[in-house]
């Protein structure tokens, strides 16, 4: 879902061939000046804030088949904390795309913009998915989004149920910065490689690796494997589609245990390559390690598959509960339990939690949160807590007293407000056409 913190870009055409980018926080993010030709050059080895602007620009123009656009001036401001797990980079790239298309007279659909943004961060060496970008662009007021990427991008609004007291969400930032660009080889990109190699091995285990849908796609994902495995089975449109998801994901969890269960402590590169009848070098090329290098002695394919399928199952069940319309449902307990299970899986199976995340979740639950989990990529960043509206103040106070006051005693009131706040599902990105 889209939340209250945002990224804003003011833009105006300047009638030249220069793109000038500035930030309200100029001391931390100095202004940059590019030509409309050299803005396409992105050095992924350099951690530079303007690279994310260039990602949005380049992604949009490459999609359009163009190599140059109009010159313009841009000024950036925002309240999404960098490295906080709230998709600051996605918000930046998405806002850039809106600004660039505005000044260049381009008018793409939300689906097109989300698809372009999903791939744009790869220019800086981050093997990004597309969930954050889709939520940033396609979020709807009062709803979560059920997002599917295969066979095509589709975002289905899921209206959160009404209850008394109302459902509320609290965001709390660990203030442990998780920078995907810096830690990618041992964290973010490593998980992507593990799941993609897992998908290759699972497809072979299920006997579908040579089907065109699996053989000719890059990258192969667990979702594609599941869809292809059930191709030709009962038409989901004739039954409860949510129940179809549940049945298929449950079957894939069993298949994953069978495919990877012989390696509970992980695979070496040689073992993964042997399972796919290829050399380690060919396997590295297959998952594009030249672009997204990783470092690991053992690859935990069983645990990553268990998390991926069980997490998808929790998402589907969350949707099922929200859409049930059953007044007898205790929404706080039902939805909160799924969020708690998700955090357990992130910590134990995907191994993307950290001590600070675990501590914030424990404090919040003890103070009245029904469900607490990390949000974003993990390894730091933010947590999200499902709380009754009448307990928001109580839970925030507990987090302020037991986490922030202890770990960050010098935090100002303004800094605390940025780190700890209540929010609700909001609208995604949109242009404001006012001019001065």
Cβ(67)–Cβ(36) below 8 Å: no
Distance in angstroms (rounded) separating the CA atoms of residues 228 and 202: 12
Judged by DSSP in three states, 373 sits in strand
CA distances for 206 relative to 28, 38, 228, 248, 268, angstroms: 51, 47, 10, 14, 21
Distance in angstroms (rounded) separating the CA atoms of residues 146 and 11: 32
With CA atoms as reference, report the closest residue to 368 among 399, 338, 343, 342. 399
Q: Which helix (H) or strand (E) holds 319?
A: helix 301-324
Distance in angstroms (rounded) separating the CA atoms of residues 132 and 1: 9
Distance in angstroms (rounded) separating the CA atoms of residues 351 and 337: 20
The verdict on whether 132 is a catalytic residue reads yes
DSSP letters of 92-152? Answer: HHHHHHHHHHHHTT----HHHHHHHHHHHGGGGT----SHHHHHHHH--TTEEEEEE-SSS
Distance in angstroms (rounded) separating the CA atoms of residues 259 and 256: 5
Considering the candidates 132, 210, 240, 326, report the single residue annotated as catalytic: 132
Encoded tokens for 194: 């593990």
Question: What count of Cα atoms within 13 Å lies in the side-chain half-sphere of residue 286?
Answer: 25
Neighbours of 63 (CB within 10 A): 17
Q: Strand 18-23 to strand 32-35: parallel, antiparallel, or no bridges (unpaired)? A: antiparallel
List, by residue number, the catalytic residues: 132
């Amino acid at each position: 879902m889209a939340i209250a913190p945002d990224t804003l870009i003011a833009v105006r055409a300047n009638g030249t061939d220069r793109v000038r980018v500035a930030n309200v926080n100029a001391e931390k993010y100095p202004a940059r000046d590019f030509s409309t030709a050299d803005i396409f050059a992105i050095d992924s080895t350099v951690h530079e804030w303007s690279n994310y602007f260039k990602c949005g620009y380049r992604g949009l123009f490459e999609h359009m088949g163009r190599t140059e656009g109009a010159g313009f001036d841009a000024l950036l401001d925002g309240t999404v904390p960098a490295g906080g797990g709230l998709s600051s980079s996605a918000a930046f790239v998405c806002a850039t795309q809106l600004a660039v298309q505005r000044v260049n007279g381009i008018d793409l659909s939300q689906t097109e913009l989300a698809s372009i943004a999903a791939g744009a961060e790869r220019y800086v060496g981050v093997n990004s998915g597309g969930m954050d970008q889709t939520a940033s662009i396609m979020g709807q007021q009062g709803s979560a989004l059920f997002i599917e990427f295969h066979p095509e991008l589709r975002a289905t609004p899921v209206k959160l149920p009404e209850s008394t007291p109302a459902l509320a969400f609290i965001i709390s930032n660990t203030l442990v910065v998780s920078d995907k660009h810096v830690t990618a080889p041992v964290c973010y990109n490593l998980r992507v490689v593990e799941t993609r190699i897992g998908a290759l091995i699972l497809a072979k285990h299920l006997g579908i690796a040579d089907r065109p849908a699996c053989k000719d796609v890059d990258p192969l994902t667990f979702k594609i494997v599941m869809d292809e495995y059930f191709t030709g089975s009962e038409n989901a449109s004739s039954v409860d589609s949510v129940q179809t998801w549940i049945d298929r994901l449950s079957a894939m969890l069993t298949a994953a245990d069978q495919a990877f269960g012989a390696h509970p402590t992980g695979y070496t590169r040689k073992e993964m390559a042997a399972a796919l009848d290829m050399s380690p070098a060919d396997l590295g090329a297959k998952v594009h390690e030249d672009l997204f290098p990783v470092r690991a002695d053992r690859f935990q394919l069983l645990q990553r598959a268990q998390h991926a399928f069980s997490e998808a199952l929790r998402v589907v069940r969350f949707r099922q509960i929200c859409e049930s319309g059953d007044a007898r449902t205790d929404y706080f307990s039902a939805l909160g339990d799924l969020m708690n299970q998700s955090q357990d899986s992130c910590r134990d199976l995907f191994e993307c939690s950290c001590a600070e995340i675990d501590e914030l979740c424990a404090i919040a639950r003890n103070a009245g949160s029904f469900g607490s989990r990390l949000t974003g990529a993990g390894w730091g960043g933010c947590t999200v807590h499902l709380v009754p509206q009448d307990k928001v103040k109580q839970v925030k106070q507990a987090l302020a007293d037991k986490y922030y006051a202890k770990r960050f005693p010098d935090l100002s009131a303004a800094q605390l407000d940025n780190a700890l706040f209540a929010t609700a599902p909001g609208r995604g990105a949109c242009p404001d056409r006012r001019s001065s």
